[in-house]
């Protein structure tokens, strides 16, 4: 089964979810809808809503609450992207001019806040205190991740453990919550909620490691942002962190001087890429992602043989195989 098959299987459910997106993006303030639709309609995969819908079905929940909950995941994800692009001074997002580059930083931040508030409005309508508590905790952790990443921006001495903490807080916890919420809607037993929670966490860790690795190897027209953009923004990611750990003291010092220098991006990236290739930073990162995917798939054994397991395995395989 391929990821396209999974999206096709949930086409109708995702269309129902889209109705909630449209309904809750309506505002008397025209700018809010313009900014929000610019990003939400820009080709996002609806990856988090899909995970929630599959998890709900796996736990035998077919009620209507799965649609607003799927929308909650997309609203929170979109809000973080709007905020990220302001922090990163991004120019491109998903192959399009970023919202902050069109409407300015203030509008992007405020519309991001609007989407957060709409997410919790939807949560109040679902009225499941376990899920409300979960999402309150998760959004708090995500905010911590943003601040921690900001603290580590440009820090050439960041450790692999610190990097993993950042991606856990920024990315993995929301995918974990999407899977957990689906299981909670289905009133699944605690061991199955835990399995799906950890499945989503592992998928999220692999997703972000792969994303960060693609920043050094993907084709720009496929990836939707310029290659080496993370490094240009001061983000030290796993391929480079690993390479620096393996490099000689002389190579480390030279690389760190390059990263912190005023040299042009086009001069620094090729030299850093050479270092990453020499010490197999790409291979190490992709192997790390593959380990998270294996752990994720192993967690599904508790559910036995169900069609939804094949769907979640297809999602897991997509994380490793993707190019965008």
Tens digit of pLDDT for each residue in 84-138? Answer: 889 888 788 877 888 999 999 999 999 999 999 999 999 999 999 999 999 999 9
The residue ranges of the chain whose pLDDT is under 50 are 221-224, 324
Main-chain dihedrals φ then ψ at residue 228, nearest 5 degrees: 80, 15
Give the per-residue pLDDT at 88: 82
Of 32, 14, 23, whose CA–CA distance to 125 is shortest?
23
Of 243, 177, 238, whose CA–CA distance to 211 is shortest?
238
Say how far apart CA 14 and CA 70 lie, in whole Å. 8
- With residue 232 as reference, give the H or E element that holds it: helix 229-232
Across all residues in the chain, what is the average pLDDT?
Answer: 91
Main-chain dihedrals φ then ψ at residue 97, nearest 5 degrees: -60, 130
Structure-block tokens of residue 31:
């700018």
Give the per-residue pLDDT at 153: 86
Say how far apart CA 257 and CA 251 lie, in whole Å. 10
Give the per-residue pLDDT at 26: 85
**Angle at the Cα of 225 (from 221 to 230), degrees rounded to 5?**
140
Report the half-sphere exposure of 236 (CA within 13 A, side-chain side): 27
Give the per-residue pLDDT at 1: 87
Give the per-residue pLDDT at 221: 44
Say how far apart CA 35 and CA 41 lie, in whole Å. 10
Main-chain dihedrals φ then ψ at residue 266, nearest 5 degrees: -70, -20
Give the per-residue pLDDT at 324: 46
How many beta carbons lie within 10 A of that of residue 67, not counting itself?
A: 24
Say how far apart CA 324 and CA 322 lie, in whole Å. 6
Q: Is 270 exposed, middle or buried (0-12, 13-18, 19+ CB in 10 A)?
A: exposed
Give the per-residue pLDDT at 323: 57
Long-range (24+ apart) CB contacts under 8 A made by 123-129 are 123/69, 123/72, 125/68, 126/65, 126/68, 126/69, 126/72, 128/65, 128/184, 128/185
86 in Cβ contact with 111 (< 8 Å) = no
Long-range (24+ apart) CB contacts under 8 A made by 21-24 are 21/71, 21/74, 21/75, 24/71, 24/75, 24/118, 24/121, 24/122
Sign (positive/negative) of CA torsion 104, 107, 109, 115?
A: negative
């Amino acid at each position: 089964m391929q990821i396209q098959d999974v999206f096709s299987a949930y086409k109708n459910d995702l269309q129902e979810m889209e109705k909630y997106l449209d309904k809750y993006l309506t505002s008397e303030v025209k700018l809010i809808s313009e900014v929000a639709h610019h990003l939400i309609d820009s080709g996002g995969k609806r990856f988090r809503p899909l995970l929630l819908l599959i998890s709900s079905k796996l736990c035998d929940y077919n009620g209507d609450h799965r649609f607003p909950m799927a929308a909650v995941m997309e609203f929170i994800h979109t809000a973080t992207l709007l905020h990220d692009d302001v922090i990163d001074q991004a120019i491109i997002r998903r192959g399009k001019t970023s919202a902050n580059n069109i409407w300015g930083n203030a509008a992007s931040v405020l519309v991001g806040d609007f989407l957060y508030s709409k997410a919790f409005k939807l949560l109040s309508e679902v009225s499941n205190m376990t899920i409300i508590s979960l999402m309150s905790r998760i959004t708090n952790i995500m905010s911590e991740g943003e601040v921690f990443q900001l603290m580590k921006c440009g820090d050439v001495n960041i450790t692999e453990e610190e990097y993993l903490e950042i991606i856990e807080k920024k990315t993995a916890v929301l995918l974990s919550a999407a899977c957990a919420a689906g299981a909670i809607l289905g009133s699944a037993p605690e061991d199955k909620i835990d399995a799906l929670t950890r499945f989503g966490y592992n998928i999220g860790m692999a997703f972000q490691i792969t994303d960060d690795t693609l920043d050094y190897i993907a084709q720009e027209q496929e990836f939707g942002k310029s290659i080496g953009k993370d490094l240009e923004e001061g983000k030290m990611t796993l391929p480079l962190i690993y390479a620096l750990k393996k490099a000689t003291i002389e190579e480390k010092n030279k690389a760190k001087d390059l990263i912190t220098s005023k040299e042009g991006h086009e001069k620094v990236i090729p030299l850093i890429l050479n270092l990453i290739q020499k010490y197999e930073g790409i291979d190490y990162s992709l192997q790390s992602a593959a380990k998270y995917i294996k752990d994720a798939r192993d967690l599904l054994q508790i559910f036995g043989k169900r069609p939804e397991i094949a769907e979640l395995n297809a999602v897991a395989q997509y994380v490793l195989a993707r190019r965008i």
